[in-house]
């Protein structure tokens, strides 16, 4: 029985590791996408941050990124510009 438990724990560790790597890749991808939008149209990109995401049950992208600990996305130029606007306006 302990052997089975050990094997299951190892499998869960591997799944968590793969999940963590995948989530970091998605975080970097999201940051690249929002910054690309920012390069093309700054106002539109910043507006996207406040617009509810219909595909995600109308979740707020910034709140979702914060909850998911998406550090690359939160550190993106677009998000930083939005935060600057909120802070200084």
- Per-residue pLDDT reduced to its tens digit, 21-69: 888 899 999 999 999 999 999 999 988 888 898 887 888 989 888 988 8
The answer, as to whether pTM is greater than 0.85, is: no
User: Which of 4-18, 30-44, 74-88 is the least confident region?
Assistant: 4-18
Query: Which pLDDT band holds residue 77 (cuts at 50, 70, 90)?
Result: very high
Token pair of 70, please?
């998406």
Bridge partners of residue 59, in order along the sequence:
53
Q: Where are the alpha helices (DSSP H) in the chain?
A: 2-40, 42-50, 61-67, 71-74, 77-88
pLDDT of residue 80: 93
Quote the DSSP letter at residue 77. Answer: H
CB 34 within 8 A of CB 44: no
Q: For residue 48, which of 59, 64, 34, 29 has the smallest C-alpha distance?
A: 34
pLDDT of residue 36: 94
d(CA 27, CA 29): 5
Q: Quick one: pLDDT at residue 40?
A: 94
Confidence label for 2 from pLDDT (cuts 50, 70 and 90): low
């Amino acid at each position: 029985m302990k052997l089975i438990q050990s094997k299951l724990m190892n499998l869960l560790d591997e799944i968590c590791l793969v999940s963590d790597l995948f989530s970091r890749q998605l975080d970097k991808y999201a940051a690249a996408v929002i910054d690309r939008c920012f390069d093309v149209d700054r106002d539109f990109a910043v507006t996207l941050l406040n617009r509810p995401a219909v595909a995600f049950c109308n979740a707020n992208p910034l709140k979702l990124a914060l909850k998911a600990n998406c550090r690359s996305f939160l550190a993106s130029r677009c998000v930083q510009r939005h935060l600057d606007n909120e802070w200084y306006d």
